[in-house]
């Protein structure tokens, strides 16, 4: 099971997330994100064994993703752009993000080779989500590993898990004091609620 805190930009937040029970932390490498972090900075942020290091990418080349994975010691490439399967980096675990809007359906993802689908709320023209929830019941019919993202916090994560029955959950903007800076109290409350809901 995955309990992920995304948008990590500093050691203090990474340490607090890991100590609070996060099983994965995310570094955003999309330059236009307010939570974007330099590759070298991400490489300096330490994480304990067992916490997966996830890089968020948008329409990046497979070669560049592989380079960043190596430098920042990532375990997973989370792809939030318009990538096709041909754009997946070879030999690297991939979580493919998909927005759950009006026309969303799982048929298009039936043969997706990603380790998991990360379902996010609608975000108009934004990549990487906008902190909005979606109808979590729509995720329950998936035949793949699902990670629920978008607008999650301590107040709603248990309901998201109950309705979606996901492999994992992912929070970012609702547990921040400012973009890229976590509110440690809110983050800890989310982590405790998520772990309890997922029974881990």
Q: What is the pLDDT of residues 9-54, one digit of tens each?
A: 999 999 999 999 999 999 999 999 999 999 999 999 999 999 999 9
Query: Can you tell me the mean pLDDT for 102-123?
Result: 86
pLDDT per position as a tens digit, 54-105? 999 999 999 999 999 999 999 999 999 999 998 999 999 999 999 887 778 8
Query: Can you tell me the mean pLDDT for 176-192?
Result: 97
Measure the CA–CA gap between 14 and 98, rounded to whole angstroms.
25
- Indicate the SS3 state at residue 37: coil
What domains can be seen in the chain, in order of their start residue?
Answer: 2-198 (3.20.20.70)
Q: In this predicted model, which residue has the larger pLDDT, 67 or 129?
A: 67
Dmax over Cα atoms in the chain, in whole Å?
A: 41
**Bridge-based pairing state of the strands 181-182 and 176-178:** antiparallel
What's the pLDDT score for residue 107? 86
Q: Which of 101, 112, 120, 108 lies closest to 166, judged by CA?
A: 120
**Token pair in block for residue 182:** 């976590």
Query: Can you tell me the mean pLDDT for 150-175?
Result: 96
| Contact yes or no for 139/118 (Cβ under 8 A) | no
Catalytic residue, candidates 6, 13, 153, 172: 6
120 is catalytic: yes
Catalytic residue, candidates 120, 153, 170, 172: 120
172 is catalytic: no
What's the pLDDT score for residue 124? 46
Q: In this predicted model, which residue has the larger pLDDT, 123 or 198?
A: 198
Q: For the chain, what is the mean pLDDT?
A: 92
Measure the CA–CA gap between 56 and 32, rounded to whole angstroms.
12
- Indicate the SS3 state at residue 34: coil
What's the pLDDT score for residue 104? 83
């Amino acid at each position: 099971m995955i309990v992920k805190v995304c948008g990590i930009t500093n050691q203090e937040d990474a340490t607090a997330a890991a100590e609070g029970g996060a099983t994965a932390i995310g570094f955003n490498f999309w330059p236009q994100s307010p939570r974007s972090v330099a590759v070298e900075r991400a490489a300096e942020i330490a994480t304990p064994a067992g916490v997966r290091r996830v890089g968020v990418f948008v329409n990046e080349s497979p070669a560049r993703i592989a380079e960043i994975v190596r430098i920042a010691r990532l375990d997973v490439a989370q792809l939030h752009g318009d990538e096709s399967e041909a754009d997946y980096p070879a030999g690297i675990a991939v979580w493919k993000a998909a927005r759950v809007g009006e026309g969303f359906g799982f048929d298009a993802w039936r043969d997706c080779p990603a380790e998991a689908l990360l379902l996010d709320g609608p975000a108009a023209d934004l990549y990487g989500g906008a902190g909005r929830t979606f109808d979590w019941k729509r995720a329950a019919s998936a035949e793949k590993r699902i990670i629920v993202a978008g607008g999650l916090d301590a107040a709603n994560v248990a309901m998201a898990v109950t309705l979606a029955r996901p492999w994992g959950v992912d929070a970012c903007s609702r547990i921040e004091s400012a973009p890229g800076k976590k509110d440690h109290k809110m983050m800890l409350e989310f982590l405790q609620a998520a772990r309890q809901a997922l029974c881990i």
